[in-house]
């Protein structure tokens, strides 16, 4: 596995390199201390399996770099590793296409599990309190990133941050709304959901709106994160109570 680390703090960059190398003997790590250095590295050789990106770079805004890389290298997974763990930053990063968000305060074990999850096609988000901040104005849209796989690894301990989804029917949705939510979590746009369920697009929009109301969120990205947080807090009622 070939990993590109982007962080403008030399000590943190060196520490992350050491941690990532611990993933296995077949891991190659390349460090970049700026957005410019990262661009030059990828221009010369885009054959990387993963990018770890800090949000606060000296020469660029990390969100702008994330957007740029997701557009230019759509098949290259990007995981944000940031000192910030604000819900608004997590949501915005996932909405812009990040495959994961790992706070720098996380343990090495959590980082390992997050990277394994991303490399297997999932999305990792840290435990957080939803609704504590105003969402980013960029969250509205018809699609979300690919399906969020959040599973508990018992060997990693309770602090690993990985939890299994509870049954979708615990949300109190109708069977059809549950089907719509399942496809929504897979990143399907309304047209594909309509085709899969043999419904009109307008009917699908109504079901999506009902699902968002049930979860108390206003966008698909927030819905993906809400289901994750719901499972972490012991069900929909516990999750709702935590937001009051």
Domains of the chain: 2-146 (3.40.50.2300), 168-242 (1.10.10.10)
Structure tokens at 108: 């090495």
Q: H helices within 73-107, ranges in order?
A: 87-95
pLDDT tens for each residue of 61-109? 999 999 999 899 988 999 999 998 888 898 889 888 888 899 998 888 8
Q: 239 or 113, which is more confident?
A: 113
Q: For residues 222 and 220, what is the distance between their CA atoms, to the nearest angstrom?
A: 5
Structure tokens at 158: 């309770």
Sheet of 100-103, strands arranged across: 28-32, 2-6, 50-53, 78-82, 100-103
pLDDT tens for each residue of 4-41? 999 999 998 998 898 898 887 789 999 999 999 999 99
Q: What percent of the chain clears pLDDT 70, i.e. is strictly above it?
A: 73
Quote the mean pLDDT of the chain.
77
Q: For residues 117 and 111, what is the distance between their CA atoms, to the nearest angstrom?
A: 10
User: What pLDDT is attached to residue 167?
Assistant: 46
pTM confidence score:
0.63
pLDDT tens for each residue of 155-165? 333 333 333 33
């Amino acid at each position: 596995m070939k990993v590109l680390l982007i962080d403008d703090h030399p000590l943190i960059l060196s520490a992350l390199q050491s941690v990532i190398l611990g993933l296995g003997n077949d891991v190659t790590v390349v460090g970049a201390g700026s957005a410019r250095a990262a661009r030059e590295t990828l221009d010369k050789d885009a054959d990387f399996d993963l990018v770890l990106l800090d949000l606060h770079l000296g020469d660029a805004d990390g969100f702008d770099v994330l957007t740029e890389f997701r557009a230019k290298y759509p098949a290259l997974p990007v995981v944000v590793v940031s000192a910030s763990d604000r819900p608004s930053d997590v949501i915005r990063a996932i909405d812009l296409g990040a495959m994961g968000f790992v706070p720098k305060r996380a343990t090495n074990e959590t980082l390992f599990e997050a990277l394994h999850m991303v490399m297997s096609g999932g999305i990792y988000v840290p435990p957080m309190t939803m609704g504590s901040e105003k969402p980013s104005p960029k969250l509205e849209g018809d699609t979300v990133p690919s399906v969020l796989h959040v599973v508990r690894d018992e060997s990693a301990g309770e602090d690993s941050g990985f939890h299994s989804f509870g049954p979708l029917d615990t949300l109190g949705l109708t069977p059809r709304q549950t089907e719509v939510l399942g496809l929504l979590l897979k990143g399907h746009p309304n047209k594909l959901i309509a085709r899969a369920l043999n419904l009109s697009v307008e009917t699908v929009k109504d079901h999506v709106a009902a699902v968002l109301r049930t979860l108390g969120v206003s966008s698909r990205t927030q819905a993906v994160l809400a289901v994750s947080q719901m499972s972490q807090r012991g069900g929909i009622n516990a999750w709702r109570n935590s937001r009051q």
